Amino acid sequence: MNLKLSPLMIALLFWLSACGGTEEPTTATTPTPQVAAGHAEGKEEGGYDEEGGHIELTPEQLKATGIKLVQAGPAQIRENLPLYGVIAPNAERVREVAARFPGVIQSVAKKIGDPVREGETLATVEANESLQTYAVTAPLSGVVTARNANPGEQTGDKTLFTVADLSTVWVELSLFPRDVAKVRIGQGVRVKNNEVGLEAMGKVVYVAPFGQSVNQTLTARVLLDNPERRWAPGLYVTAEVTLAETTALLAIRNEAVQTLEGRSVVFVQGAEGFAPREVALGRSDGEHSEVTSGLAAGDTYAAANSFILKAELGKGAAAHED
């Protein structure tokens, strides 16, 4: 399997494969992992134990490689239904603003994209009958998403502004008829956008009672908190609806599992360094896998970037054969 690595990781792995000796770099601004061949006696710091099959890394090297350490223990294993959808404004927090009395617009204080507070002036209008000027104000705090008002124009009965509170948004998910019976109001949903690195949890608040003839789907709606306004309406997302949830007494993160000679292994940290440990896996979801044998609760293992240890183990084994 080919791994597509970032330029930084490619450079890191190239450096790792090039460093076979014990000489320390003369200049360095950050701790760089140096994994060298060790021996039964006098193993060097940051070395590979050929006899025991261990890889030793200092805390500085762990930080430089981005290898994250996690303890094996209980975890929730979820049965998920994957869906696709799009972010939409929370329609319950959108207001259209019109003039109270017909008249001439005297001034406009806000434009599209401007934040507003509840009660803040959006425009002033001179009433046709009384010739008195009054303020058109924001009915809620949010952002101006539409403006149809310019000085000198008659207000008529048209909508002058639209104000939306985006502190919460809806996720409109496309639900196929075969999956309708699986989705219920109140279920938890993990929403992701991998392109911008967003992830959050929400809940199903509505399932449409009728479908759309165009694409033969129904809409399942998720309410999502958006305090930092990062979930922009119109953004496409993926989602996982939690259908069932059970507790695994012993579980690990999926990204920790590597394959060596057809076996599933996890790199476990011990007194002599990291060593691959064969594991048998049970139930799994998008984050965790149940461990049925091979690990004990409390074992510390490499989760993120454990493939670096696998690559170094292979390099050390090849050097030992030579």
The 10s digit of each residue's pLDDT in 113-122 is 999 999 999 9
Q: Write phi, then psi, for 3 (nearest 5 degrees).
A: -100, 130
Q: What is the pLDDT of residues 231-259, one digit of tens each?
A: 999 999 999 999 988 888 999 899 889 88
Q: Above 50 in pLDDT, residue 71? A: yes
Quick one: pLDDT at residue 35? 40
Q: What is the reported pTM?
A: 0.64
Quick one: pLDDT at residue 315? 64
Percentage of the chain exceeding pLDDT 70:
81
Quick one: pLDDT at residue 60? 78
**Of 208, 200, 199, the residue nearest 174 (C-alpha):** 208
Mean pLDDT of 75-104: 94
Mean pLDDT of 307-322: 66
Place of tokens 């990062």: 230
Identify which has the larger pLDDT, 100 or 26: 100
Q: Above 80 in pLDDT, residue 19? A: no
Q: Above 70 in pLDDT, residue 1? A: no
Collect all residues with Cβ–Cβ distance below 8 Å to 7 and sequence separation of at least 6: none
Quick one: pLDDT at residue 3? 33
Token pair in block for residue 198? 């967003």
**What's the full length of the chain, in residues?**
322
User: How many whole angstroms separate alpha carbon 279 and alpha carbon 277?
Assistant: 6
Mean pLDDT of 174-181: 91
User: How many whole angstroms separate alpha carbon 266 and alpha carbon 250?
Assistant: 14
N-terminal to C-terminal alpha carbon distance within the chain: 25
Beta bridge partners of 79: 244
Q: What is the pLDDT of residues 256-314, one digit of tens each?
A: 898 888 888 988 988 878 888 899 998 888 788 999 999 899 898 988 888 888 877 76
Beta bridge partners of 275: 268
Instruction: Grade residue 322 by pLDDT with cuts at 50, 70 and 90.
Output: low
Beta bridge partners of 217: 212
Reduce the secondary structure of 211-278 to three states and give it as a string: CECCCCEEEEEEEEECCCCCCCCCCEEEEEEEEEEEEEEEEEEHHHCEEECCEEEEEEEECCEEEEEE
Instruction: Grade residue 29 by pLDDT with cuts at 50, 70 and 90.
Output: very low
3-state DSSP assignment of residue 45: coil
Is residue 223 within 8 A of residue 170, CB to CB? The reply is yes
Q: What is the pLDDT of residues 134-163, one digit of tens each?
A: 999 999 999 999 999 999 999 999 999 999
User: Helices 7-18 & 307-321, crossing angle to 10 degrees?
Assistant: 30
In this structure, the dihedral spanned by the alpha carbons of residues 173, 177, 178 and 179, taken in order and rounded to 10 degrees, is: 30
Mean pLDDT of 183-208: 93
Under DSSP, the state recorded for 82 is E
